Every structure is written in C-alpha cells, then in structure tokens.
Copies of this chain bind each other. A is one copy, B any other.
Amino acid sequence: MRQSELLAIAADLFADRGYVATTVRDIADEAGILSGSLYHHFDSKESMIDEILSTFIDQTLSSYEGVIAEGKGPKETFEGLVCTSLESMVESRSAILIYQNEGRFLAAQPRFSYLTAAHRKFEKIWTDVLKKGVKSGEFRDSIDPKLVYRLVRDTVWTAPRWYRPGGSLKPEKIIEQYMAVLVEGVSSH
C-alpha cells in the first residue's frame, strides 16, 4: 500500500520539522511525487496527522493493557509500563514526537478530541499502578501519583527527541538506565 509509505514519510517530517513547518510539497518531494498527487491518497494534510496519531494511540493503549493483563504486582507492572513505553521508541519514534509536540495544540479542535480522551486513559493507567504500589508499601508513600505520573511519562516520551535509530547508542542501554533511575526513584528503601 502506497498510503502507509507516504504516512511514514510524513510522520518523519512532522516529527523532525514540526507539523506546521512541514509543507505538503516537502512530503511529496521526499516521496518523489508532486504535491497534488498526495490528494489522491489523503483528504488533507490534517487527515495525515490524524491517521498517524490515532494509530499510535491505539497501539500504545493496547500495549499498556497487555502489561496490566499480566496481573503482576505494582512494581513489576510499573517496570513493564516503563519498558514498553521505551521500547515503542524504536518503531513509533516519530509518532511519539508528534503526539508530544503537536498534541496539545491539536486537542483543541473537535476532530482531535480523542487525544484528550486518550490522555485521560493514560493517566488513569499509570496513577492506578502508582497508587497500588504505595498501598503495598513497594513505593514511597510520599509520592504524589499524578505528579510522578507526569514525570515518568514526560521522561520516557522525551527520549525519542534525541534517540537516533541505528545509532551507536542502543535502545537496550537506554531502557536499562531509565528503568533503574525511575524505579529506584519511586521505590521505598
């Protein structure tokens, strides 16, 4: 399918230069076609980012639910959430960046109201795990679940900003270091 190829190209450009700064001519150039030809595949520039974001949200949500479904304790579940978030950096790098950079602005439009809904679901999943960990004593009871959720989310979803796929810095190394700091950061001693 040509559509998904074009979407991947668009996603990379949106992630690198920003959605507004990327023109439909930029995307077409990268694909080796003319800008008008894009409209054979998509209604509008907006529908491209729409597709990118909704796909990313579906994937993320189901990967989170998979971790929850394992039914492990709070600490291991927390580790699982951190791990899967960081792992998605490899395949969904540009989507994460777009979600982070353009999400807030787009969420104001009715078309992208699902962004706000997803945001709330993410928050509930993370804070639930954190609260359970505090109850079980595995996490310090001084932590504020909502605030720590934001900290962790921002931390794991900002790594794609400087992570370069195929670079010498391997994802495993990043995951190992980030997991250690974050888990130690919330655990009681």
A180 to chain B: which residues have CB within 8 Å?
140, 142-143, 185
A13-29 contacts to B, CB under 8 A, are 16-18, 20-21
Asked whether A101 is an interface residue with its Cβ less than 8 Å from the other chain, the reply is yes
A154 at the interface (CB under 8 A from B): yes
Listed stretches A3-11, A35-43, A56-64, A171-179; interface member: A171-179
A120 to B88, CA, bound (A): 28
Quick check: B181 and A162 within 8 Å, CB to CB?
Answer: no
Which listed segment binds B: A45-53, A72-80, A110-118, A145-153? A145-153
- Chain B residues, Cβ within 8 Å of A105: 16-18, 21
Chain B residues with Cβ below 8 Å from A189 are 184, 189
Known: A104-B161, A155-B151, A162-B150. A177 touches B143 (CB 8 A): yes
Question: What is the total number of residues of chain A having a CB less than 8 Å from a CB of chain B?
Answer: 35
Tell me the complex Cα distance, A56–B90, Å.
32
| 29 residue pairs from A and B, CB less than 8 Å apart | A18-B18, A18-B21, A18-B101, A18-B105, A20-B21, A21-B105, A101-B101, A104-B161, A140-B180, A143-B177, A143-B180, A143-B181, A144-B177, A147-B169, A147-B174, A147-B177, A147-B178, A148-B181, A150-B159, A151-B159, A151-B177, A154-B158, A154-B161, A158-B158, A180-B185, A181-B186, A182-B185, A184-B184, A184-B189
> What 19 new A-B contacts, CB under 8 Å, besides A148-B181, A155-B155, A184-B185?
A17-B105, A18-B20, A18-B105, A21-B105, A140-B180, A140-B184, A143-B177, A147-B174, A147-B178, A151-B155, A151-B177, A151-B178, A154-B155, A154-B158, A155-B158, A181-B186, A184-B189, A185-B185, A189-B189
